[in-house]
């Protein structure tokens, strides 16, 4: 199986060196490509020093979907392409191998994404979110599962995901016109086309964010715009609000047990998400 790895980058920071060292130790051989948006902190040079190919693009042209598609076309031919974000850390030397293993076992799987664990220093809230979205049990989902999982059927994350290139090409590749959520867009397209999505819980990375309320608001404005623009996803798989409400109630209950004061900040951030999402839907 011919595999490739793509990481979009922009001023990746000091942690990036550790990720590059971890990539060098992976048991899965891959072509590796960094698509860099004119970093000014030496990100591109650091990647080159580890033997990675670097493709530089103008910062103003970056797009979550179009940039990934552009990079994919530069690294082909491949059977499987893996995407990471610059802020992950790999759990072990077989993280990538475990992520792609399903493609040789099940020819119906078009997309595989792995488990994300909270970074060291993650807040209780961030850790709970990771536990909610990335449970310890693996899961295989098909289009028929939308009746059980709703919009979560099409959930995936390009922070740590792998695609069967033939399946990705068959659904038209990554979109160039979405503000965010290019991973959900492709997942939904694949499900509609008869492919399955695999959540590989044994393939793990560390990845989390301690977002402020303002950051959550801006992020959810973009998510709201995505759902308004691609309304077919909600119409086909269901609304996002149900899953969001379930998570908020569970999270507040858990935070109250750990540290009741954490609930105050969580409520502000949840309000920011709600109003940001609504604003994005109307914008």
Residue 180: asked if its preceding bond is cis (omega within 30°), the reply is no
CB 164 within 8 A of CB 80: yes
Tokens of 173: 């590749």
Which pLDDT band holds residue 261 (cuts at 50, 70, 90)?
Answer: confident
On the question of pLDDT at 161 being above 90, the answer is yes
Tokens of 207: 């990845």
Q: Tell me, what DSSP letter sits at residue 118? A: P
Distances in Å between the alpha carbon of 282 and those of 178, 196, 243? 16, 32, 20
Which pLDDT band holds residue 79 (cuts at 50, 70, 90)?
Answer: very high
In 3D space, the residue among 163, 171, 168, 183 whose CA is nearest the CA of residue 226 turns out to be 183
The domain defined by 3-206 folds into Spore Coat Polysaccharide Biosynthesis Protein SpsA; Chain A (3.90.550)
**What confidence score (pLDDT) does residue 265 get?**
84
Residue-level length of the chain? 283
Give per-residue pLDDT as tens, 92-150: 999 999 999 999 999 999 999 999 999 999 999 999 899 999 999 999 999 999 999 99
Which residue(s) pair with 8 in the sheet?
A: 35
Q: What percent of the chain has pLDDT over 70?
A: 98
Question: For the whole model, what pTM was predicted?
Answer: 0.93
Give per-residue pLDDT as tens, 216-253: 999 999 999 999 999 999 999 987 656 677 777 788 78
Q: What percent of the chain has pLDDT over 90?
A: 85
On the question of pLDDT at 200 being above 70, the answer is yes
**What confidence score (pLDDT) does residue 150 get?**
92
**Mean pLDDT of all residues in the chain?**
94
**What confidence score (pLDDT) does residue 240 get?**
62
Give per-residue pLDDT as tens, 35-65: 999 999 999 999 999 999 999 999 999 999 9
In 3D space, the residue among 152, 112, 110, 175 whose CA is nearest the CA of residue 237 turns out to be 152
On the question of pLDDT at 16 being above 80, the answer is yes
Q: According to CATH, where is 3.90.550.10 located in the chain? A: 3-206
On the question of pLDDT at 204 being above 90, the answer is yes
3-state secondary structure of 199: strand
């Amino acid at each position: 199986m011919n595999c490739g790895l793509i990481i979009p980058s922009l001023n990746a920071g000091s942690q990036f060196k550790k990720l590059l060292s971890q990539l060098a130790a992976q048991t899965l051989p891959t072509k590796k490509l960094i698509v860099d948006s004119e970093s000014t902190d030496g990100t591109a040079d650091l990647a080159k020093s580890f033997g990675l190919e670097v493709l530089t693009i103008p910062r103003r042209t970056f797009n979550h979907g179009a940039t990934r598609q552009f990079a994919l076309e530069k690294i082909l031919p491949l059977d499987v392409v893996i995407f990471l974000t610059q802020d992950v850390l790999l759990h072990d030397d077989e993280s990538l191998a475990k992520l792609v293993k399903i493609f040789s076992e099940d020819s119906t799987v078009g997309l595989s994404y792995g488990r994300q664990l909270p970074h060291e220093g993650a807040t209780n809230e961030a850790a709970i979110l990771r536990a909610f979205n990335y449970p310890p049990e693996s899961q295989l989902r098909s289009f028929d599962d939308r009746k059980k999982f709703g919009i979560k059927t099409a959930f995936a994350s390009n922070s740590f995901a792998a695609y069967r290139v033939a399946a990705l090409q068959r659904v038209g590749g990554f979109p160039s016109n979405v503000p965010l959520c290019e991973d959900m867009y492709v997942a939904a397209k694949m499900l509609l086309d008869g492919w399955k999505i695999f959540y590989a819980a044994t393939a793990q990375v560390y990845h989390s964010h301690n977002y402020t309320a303002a950051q959550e608001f801006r992020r959810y404005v973009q998510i709201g715009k995505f759902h308004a623009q691609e309304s077919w996803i909600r119409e086909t798989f269901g609304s996002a609000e149900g899953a969001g409400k379930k998570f908020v109630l569970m999270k507040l209950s858990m935070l109250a047990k750990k540290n009741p004061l954490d609930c105050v900040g969580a409520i502000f951030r949840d309000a920011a998400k709600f109003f940001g999402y609504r604003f994005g839907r109307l914008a």
